[in-house]
Amino acid sequence: MAGNGSRRVTDSRFDAALQVLAELERAGYQAYLVGGCVRDMLLGKRPEDYDVATDALPDEVQNLFPRTVPTGIRHGTVSVLIGGERIEVTTFRTEGAYLDARRPSEVRFVRSLEQDLARRDFTVNAMAMDRRGHLQDPFDGRRDLREKRIRAVGEADERFREDALRMLRAIRFAAALRAQIEERTWQAIRRHAGLMTEIARERIRDEWNKMLRADLSISINYLAASGLLPIVFPDISPRKVKASFAPHQGGEAARSRYVGTQDFVAERWRQAADFANRLPDKSDLRQAALFWQLGVDEATVQASLRRLRQPNSFVRSVAAILRAIPDSDPLTWTAETWRGYLYRHGKQAAIDAMRILGEASEADNGKIGRLLDKAIERQPIWSVRDLAVDGQDLIRELQIPPGPLVGQILTELTEWTLQHPACNNRQHLLAAARVLYQHWKNGSQKV
Ligand code: ATP
Ligand code: MG
C-alpha cells in the first residue's frame, strides 16, 4: 500500500487482505479495507484483523474465491481463506432494520460505500481505504482521530436508540484511544443510558473486557458520569462498597451522610480505577484489583462476574487472586509462611496478589516482589504430585490398604514437607508415613 513504508513486510494477513482487494477489483467490483483496521493503520498500530467491504453480493464473493466460509451470510459476511489467512468480506449494507426494531436479518445490501460507512458507529470507525492507500472519509474521522475525539456518525440520539451498546463502545474507544467523547455524543449517552438494560449481557461483557485492558480511569469516569456503571455492575450497590477510603473532611457526621451515596460510590470507583490502571493490562488481575479497592465481598464479586457472563475460568482466577491477598504483611513472613502460602494459593494467584499488594504499598519499592521470587524459586512442592512418594508407594512399600487413608497420609506428608522442605525425598517420606500409619493402627484411627 502506498505511503505506508513503516508497515512490516512480514504481515501476511495484510498481504492476504490486499490480495482480496485486488481480486475483487479485477472482477469489476469496488473493494475497501474498512473500520477498525483503517483506524489502527492511521494510528500506526498493527491491526488485529482486516475487514473488507465490497459492492459484490455474498454469492458473487463466494463465486470469485476458491475457498470461502459463509460466516455471517445473512448479514452479508463471507470469510475468504487465502494465503493461510482468513479475511472477512462484507457486502455494503445499511441497517435500516434497526429503525423498525427488527432483527438485522433485514439488512439491505446497497451499492455505495458511503451508505455503508454511514451505518457505522463512530467517525473514527467509519473510514475506508482502497488498495492504493486512498482514504474515503466522508465524516471527517481522520480529523477526529488526530484530535482524539469520539463522535457518533449522524444523529447521536438516533444511533444510540438503534443500538444502545454503542454507548459502551464510545466509552471503550475513548479509553483505548485516550480520547474524549464529543459533547453532543456525550449528552446523548447521558440521556439514553437507561436503554443499556435491554442489551444482552454477553455484548456488554465483550466491551467491558476490552475496557479492562485499556485506560480504566477514562472508562470508569465516563461510566460513572453517564449512569452506565450501575447497569454494567448492578450487584455492586452503594452499601456493598466499603468506606475505608472515604474522605474524612467535614467530620464524622458529614462522612456518614456521604458514605453509601452515589457520589461516594463514583469516587471510590475512580480511585479503584486509578489504582488498577497502574497494574499490567491483564484482565483478571485488573478486575481483582478493582474489586479489592472497592472492598466488595466475595459473593458480590462472583455474582457480578457471573451476571456479566464471564467464563468460569475467569471468575475462578479473579476469586483466587482476591483470596491470595493476605491480611498480614508479607515483609514479616518466615520462609515457612511463604511455603504454606504458595502451596495454598498456587503460583499465578500469588504473583497477581502480590502485585496488587506491592502497588498498594507506597514504601514497597519492589521488596515484596523480590521476596516472592525467592520463595517461588525455593518452593519444594506445589501440589501433592510433587511429593517424592505417591499413593502407590505407600500401598506397595508399607502395605497400607488402598482407600481414603492413603490420601490422608499424603496430605499429612505435604504439610510435613512444607514445614521441613529438606525432607522431600523417598526415604524420609516413607519413614514419616510409616510412623503415621503405626499411629493410626494403634487405635486412634486418625492420622
Ligand atoms: P477492535 O479493534 O476492538 O476490534 P473495531 O473497530 O474493529 O475495534 P469491531 O467491534 O471489530 O470494532 O467492529 C468492526 C467495525 O464494525 C467497527 O469499526 C465499526 O465500523 C462497525 N461496528 C461494529 N459494531 C458496531 C455497532 N454496534 N454499531 C455500528 N457499527 C459497528
Ligand atoms: Mg475488530
* β pairing state of 31-34 and 51-54: antiparallel
358 in contact with ligand 1, CB cutoff 6 A: no
144 in contact with ligand 1, CB cutoff 6 A: no
Phi-psi region of 227 (alpha: psi -120 to 50; beta: other; left: phi over 0): left
Does residue 19 fall inside a structural domain?
yes
Q: pLDDT digits over 135-161, tens only?
A: 999 999 999 999 999 999 999 999 999
Q: Which pLDDT value is given to residue 100?
A: 38
Q: Which pLDDT value is given to residue 9?
A: 52
Residue with cell 464524622: 252
Does residue 341 fall inside a structural domain?
no
Q: What is the DSSP letter of 143?
A: H
Does residue 60 fall inside a structural domain?
yes
Residue minimizing CA distance to atom 24 of ligand 1:
121
163 in contact with ligand 1, CB cutoff 6 A: yes
Cα of 34 to ligand 1 centre, how many Å?
10
Q: How far apart are CA 139 and CA 212, in angstroms?
A: 29
Does residue 42 fall inside a structural domain?
yes
pTM reported for the whole predicted model: 0.89
Q: Which pLDDT value is given to residue 362?
A: 78
47 in contact with ligand 1, CB cutoff 6 A: no
Q: How far apart are CA 306 and CA 289, in angstroms?
A: 17
Residue minimizing CA distance to atom 11 of ligand 1:
36
Nearest ligand, measured from the Cα of 124:
1
Split into its structural domains, the chain has a count of 2
Residue minimizing CA distance to atom 30 of ligand 1:
120
Q: Which pLDDT value is given to residue 2?
A: 44
Does residue 83 fall inside a structural domain?
yes
Q: pLDDT digits over 65-94, tens only?
A: 999 999 999 899 999 999 999 999 999 999
| DSSP string for 294-339 | HT--HHHHHHHHHHTT--HHHHHHHHHHHHTS-SS-GGG--HHHHH
Given a cut of 50, the residues of the chain with pLDDT beneath it are 1-3, 5, 97, 99-103, 105, 245-249
**Residue at a domain's end among 126, 147, 168:** 147
Does residue 95 fall inside a structural domain?
yes
Does residue 333 fall inside a structural domain?
no
Cα of 124 to ligand 2 centre, how many Å?
13
Does residue 243 fall inside a structural domain?
no
159 in contact with ligand 1, CB cutoff 6 A: no
**Residue at a domain's end among 102, 127, 147:** 147
CATH code where residue 48 lies: 3.30.460.10
Residue minimizing CA distance to atom 8 of ligand 1:
36
165 in contact with ligand 1, CB cutoff 6 A: yes
Of ligand 1's listed atoms, the one at least distance from the Cα of 126 is: 20
**Residue at a domain's end among 147, 165, 188:** 147
141 in contact with ligand 1, CB cutoff 6 A: no
35 in contact with ligand 1, CB cutoff 6 A: yes
The residue segments making up the domain with residue 416 are 384-441
Q: Which pLDDT value is given to residue 11?
A: 86
